[in-house]
A and B are shown apart, each in its own frame.
Chain A
Amino acid sequence: MTTTSFFLYVFLGIVVCFSYFHLSNLALDFFSQKNSNNFLKKSVLRPYIFIAPAVIILVIFILYPVVETLRLSFFNKTGFEFVGIKNYIWAAKDPEFKRAILNNLGWLLVVPTLSAFFGLVIAYLADRLWWGTIAKSIIFMPMAISFVGAGVIWKFVYDYRGPGDDQIGFLNAVVVSLGFEPQAWMTIPIWNNLFLMAIMIWIQTGLAMVIFSAALRGIPKEMIEAARIDGASEFKIFTSIIIPYLEKTILVIWTIITILVLKIFDIILAMTNGQWNTEVLANLMYDWMFRGGGDSGRGSLMAIVIMIGVIPIMIWNIRRHKEDEKS
């Protein structure tokens, strides 16, 4: 990839896309002026010109794969032979699968809750200080970093050297300076899951924070002032006025992060690859799909399980939007 071909590629891609819309609309205008019969009446046809590319892409990139995955989950590992619910029966008995489900539940419980909690606290604190904007920028920064980049950053934090050697991982350095033995953090069952979750929380707190920060501005100042005059403590104001007021926002943030967590993959792959009981569904799926010859049946099954986990949120999302449309 040279610089010239880079510009050529980029230019070409964008021109092709834009000319579709422009030319098709011009063509429609041209024909509808010439020919004023009903069928070509522009207002009937034009919406389809507008939506066609998006709908085609949606069908190819989202709908078809979902259906295909569902089909594959009932087939054997090569995808040629129908095996009914054999894969599902296998999964019900597989300890690794159970482990992954359990871990995913742990992630679902801890990460959205803590991210939302820290996000709210930071937003609340930052909005009251002169240097709050800077603080918010810094907290928000991890959002801009890739999961792989975050993996490197945190691998460096969790690095382990044998006792007696100089530690280069920050966490172990702290532990050693307090007089304890250094630990290989990634290998301690249960705790290692929490250390991995910390990475996700580190990333997602920023998201929660900015959304809360916007929502906090919507709280009527008078309400808080009134409470202050009544002598309510800061903590009291926070728990009995602000939190109830933000109920809906909390729910929204919780869903966004929940969806992200259900699909958590890159962090596990980069940090432990599912070893030491840190397996999660998306990584297990990748494993079955591609490792050691691959088993598209079992891999697809995992994908379907993730999908099933998402469905309640999906339905809730659609409902919420229907209500919004009405109001």
Chain B
Amino acid sequence: MSDTAAKAPRWAIWLPLALFAGFFVLVMFGLLRPASHDVQSAMIGKPLPPFNLAPASADRPGLARTDFAGKPRLMNVFASWCVPCAAETPVLAELAKRGVEIDGIAIRDRPQDLALFLARNGNPYARIGADNVREVQLAIGSSGVPESFVIDGKGTIRYQHIGEIRPDQIDMILGKLAEAAK
């Protein structure tokens, strides 16, 4: 028995240790890398699906797929019940001031809540569509609020921003819009 075992190749004795080391590196890599819970949309580079949302507020039209023609637009998925969305409004106002056309998709919002939200935080939106069962949100691969999408003049999704746009990200967003205009 012992001499048959000795016939196994010499290097084989290191195999278990090498395997263990491999697993150890894998586990440490997984532990040390910060976990991201963001779910990226797989729709980047693809055209927006057809949709037609009713107006969510009294003084803005609704939002349809056909509105995305001409120059690139920022499509902001938001809700009055979402705290980071309220924090994002000054940044959206700044973007609107710099000539960005922003459309809103209001997720599961009651008209009176949305009116209050817009009265309190300002209204940077050209159009606001009411997505009451998240049909458009699911169709574009968005998984939360707020999220912003850069849509080019042909209606293609060019960029997805997950979470609120922070003041230091204004230039980055403007860059993405300029890129989409090319």
A, B assembled together: no
Question: Which residues in B have some Cβ–Cβ distance to A below 8 Å?
Answer: none
